[in-house]
Structure formats: C-alpha cells, structure tokens
Amino acid sequence: MEPILARFGLGDPEWLDPATAVVIVAIGLVVAILFHKLLFPLILKFTQWTPTDLDSRLVKSVRWPFSLGIVTLGVYLGLTIGLDLTGGQQARTDTITSAVGVVIGILVVAGLLSSAIDWYLASLSTRANHVVDLRLFPLIRRVGGVVIYGIGALLVLDVMDINISPLIAGLGLGGLAVALAIQPTLANLFAGTYVMTEGVIATGDYIELESGMAGYVVEVGWRSTRIRTWGNNLVVVPNARFAETIITNYQQPVPAVNVYVTCGVSYESDLDHVEDISRGVMDDLVANDRNAIRAYGSWFAFDAFGESNVDFWLFMQARDRLASFNLQSALIKNLHRQFREEGIVISYPVRTLQFPDGFTPDMVGATATPANRTPSPSRPSRPVRPPKEFPLTEEEGPDIGGVPPPGGGESPMGTPDGPDGPG
C-alpha cells in the first residue's frame, strides 16, 4: 500500500491505518449483508427439495448467528490488520473476539436444538397419540436451553481469564443443597416422566388403584395425576405414589370389557333345557343389544354342584366399561324372566336344624330369678341360660343324629349337622 501511495505523492499519512481498518470492517459488513440477503435464500430454495422441512428450520435458525459471526470477523481483521496494535492491545482484542465467538457458538447450538424440537412437535399433528411428546419435549427444550446457556457463560468467563473453579464448586454444592431441599418435587417429576413415557394410562382412561379408588384420568402432569371419581370429585395423586401403586386400567389393552355372570338352578331342573334357554338369551342380546360385541359371541358352561343349585356361568363382551353395566343388567333380567316363564327354579339356600325331643323355643328365651334373691331396681336380673343337657331316656329319645345315647344316659342338646340338612 505504501509504494502505491508514494507514486501519488501521499507518502505515509496518519489516516492510512484507520482508513484501512474502516475499509476492512466495511467489507465484512458487505459480505455479511450479501450472505444474509442472497446466499441464505438460495440455500433455503435448495432445502425445499428435501422431503421434510427440518433442514429449512435448521438453516433459518443459524442465519443471524452466521451473519453476526461474519461481522465479528471483519471487525477483528480490521483491528489487527489495519491498526498497529501493541502486545497488550492485541491480547485484549483476541480475548474479546474469542468471547464473542463463544457467544455466537452458543446461539447456534441453542437455535439448532429449539428448531429441531419445534419441527418434531409440528410433525406430531399426523400422529394419534402424542400427548407424552407434547409434554416432554417442551420441558427438554427449556432444560436444554438453560444447560447450554449456563455452559456458554462458564466458557466466556474462562476465555476472559476468570477462574471458574470456585464457581463450579459453589454450583455443585448449591445444586446438592437444592436437590436435597426439593427431593419430593424431583421424585414426583421423575415419576411423572415415567408415567407419561410408559404409556400405561392416558387422559380419559378409567382406572382403579390398589387402594380401591377408581375414576377417570383427567390429566397426567409432571407433579401429580388428577382423577375424577364416580362421585364427580377430583382426586390429586402425587406421581411418586402413583408410580408405585398397582393400577387396573379398564381401557387397556382395548376398551372392550368382558361380562361374567354366575347363576344356579335347582337339582330337579333339566340342565339341557337350562343351557338352551341361557344360550338363547345371550344370542338375542348379541344380535340386538348395541352394548354387546357381536364378533366375540357368547359362552356358557356348568361350573359346579352347589349347596342348593347346579351352578353355571355366562360370558359375553361389551364394547366398553359403561356398556358392560347395561349388558350385564339386561342379561340378568332376561335370564330371570325366561326361567320364570319356563318354570325353572333358582333355589334359595336351605339349612335344616335338628333339636332333641322335648326341646321348645321357650327354653331359649326363658329367664329366671333365684328364690333367695330379690331383683334390684338398679341391677336388672340376668337371663338364665338354657341347660346344656336334657335328661332323656331310651323311650323318650332313642336316637339323635343317628347315634343312640349310651346306656340310656344323657344326650347333648343337638348336633351341628343333622342327617337331613347340611351343616
């Protein structure tokens, strides 16, 4: 530059170095504007040919940081080339430029992370079940942004020759103290992450907990799960307890619910006829009741010889839990009506008790007052228990419960189970 200026008789003027610095900075600004206004739109046009818009989002997120980086580079070159800096000035310039470069790098990383998460959330509109992702990824974006900016701040301090070791130690101790202080909240947070990512429950499912509480899931949050009970009350369960309990989900794996009804008929009934009537009732419900699933059909089988009836069961499937109540009610009513019309008896439980000869109900409720004692008004007389044994002779009671009394002696009041009735 000096030989060229010497030909024009300018020599070595004082304004040459500042002018050179200004020219270099201006060139950097022009390049940044061209890169921002012309090159980036061309890159965006190329990204439109790809099957997804992820690359477009990523390019847009780094547009401003790259332009700012070009301007920073121009300023740095203008200062170091155009001006004759001393050693101390050059060191400060390098430090400041490095700090600005770290900041620009942090902005690029944060922008890429945010754009990728935004693209993923936008692509979930075509998916049926994306509640977990809608809750999880915004949290990842916020936490990731805090982590990235925190690391960037530490790097900037380190570049500026500031000792960050005490700061890191303090942050470690502070983080430990905070973690101990909010341990229940962190436990609920991690349990909520497990509950949402596991996919065992979703909003609208009818569930029953191990404690017996049941209701519809209203919301699964990070700290708690809200359940609306059958009494239309809202129950808030902390996720830490919710993740450890046993849960019955009536909506999974499918909304269909099986209907299982047990019944019994007397031993005098025609079991083939009973089966025909039962199958006919179930077939009619499968064909005409909208609560029943026709493809599943119906099932019938005799189960056991009961104390008073021959027991059997009927098996059907309803389309959901609410429909199962209506289907079970209709099955019981129709089956009872058909049995009554056909004269089929559902026996009541019967128990026969046997007592010794001469025993009367008056002996149970008899009361007595000792002859040598006058009842006190303040202390009512107690009822006297009936005698446990009754003297019987062989003529009066030769046989009780199939066992004759030995030697015509005394016999117990009665046996637990007689020959004509179960115990």
Q: Is the whole model's pTM more than 0.85, yes or no?
A: no
Cβ atoms 141, 133 nearer than 8 A:
no
- Do residues 86 and 160 both lie within one domain? yes
Q: Does 190 map to a domain? A: no
Domain endpoint, select from 150, 181, 212 = 181
Q: Does 348 map to a domain? A: no
- Do residues 299 and 267 both lie within one domain? yes
Q: Does 193 map to a domain? A: no
- Do residues 145 and 49 both lie within one domain? yes
- Do residues 51 and 165 both lie within one domain? yes
Which CB contacts under 8 angstroms, 24+ apart, belong to 50-59?
52/119, 52/123, 53/119, 54/116, 54/119, 57/115, 57/116, 57/118, 57/119, 58/112, 58/115, 58/116
- Do residues 156 and 30 both lie within one domain? yes
Q: Which pLDDT score, from 0 to 100, does residue 401 have?
A: 42
Domain endpoint, select from 149, 181, 213 = 181
Q: Which pLDDT score, from 0 to 100, does residue 316 have?
A: 94
Domain endpoint, select from 223, 249, 275 = 249
User: Could you list the residue range(s) of the whole structural domain that residue 407 is in?
Assistant: 356-367+383-423
- Do residues 24 and 57 both lie within one domain? yes
Nearest residue to 195 via CA among 244, 234, 233, 229: 244
Q: Does 38 map to a domain? A: yes
**Which one-letter DSSP state was computed for residue 416?**
S
- Count CB-CB contacts under 10 A for residue 28: 19
87's tokens: 């050693």
Which residue stretches of 257-296 are H helix?
A: 271-288
User: Domain count of the chain?
Assistant: 4
Handedness of CA 233, 133, 196, 180 (dihedral sign): negative
- Do residues 302 and 402 both lie within one domain? no
Nearest residue to 190 via CA among 266, 243, 233: 243
Nearest residue to 398 via CA among 359, 357, 360, 355: 357
- Do residues 33 and 151 both lie within one domain? yes
What are the backbone angles phi and psi of residue 145, rounded to the nearest 5°? -65, -40
Q: What's the CATH number where 225 sits?
A: 2.30.30.60
Q: What's the CATH number where 336 sits?
A: 3.30.70.100
Q: Does 245 map to a domain? A: yes
Q: Which pLDDT score, from 0 to 100, does residue 13 have?
A: 59
- Do residues 63 and 88 both lie within one domain? yes
- Do residues 233 and 88 both lie within one domain? no
Q: Does 119 map to a domain? A: yes
- Do residues 153 and 219 both lie within one domain? no
At 360, which amino acid appears? Answer: T
The pairing of strands 214-220 and 206-209 is antiparallel
Nearest residue to 189 via CA among 130, 139, 135, 239: 239
Cβ atoms 234, 216 nearer than 8 A:
no
Q: Does 24 map to a domain? A: yes
Q: What is the mean pLDDT, run by run of 10 residues, along the chain of 423 residues?
A: 55 67 87 87 83 84 88 87 78 87 91 86 61 66 84 86 78 73 72 74 86 88 85 88 86 88 93 95 93 92 92 94 92 95 86 76 58 48 49 43 43 41 39
- Do residues 23 and 125 both lie within one domain? yes
Q: Does 114 map to a domain? A: yes
Cβ atoms 79, 145 nearer than 8 A:
no
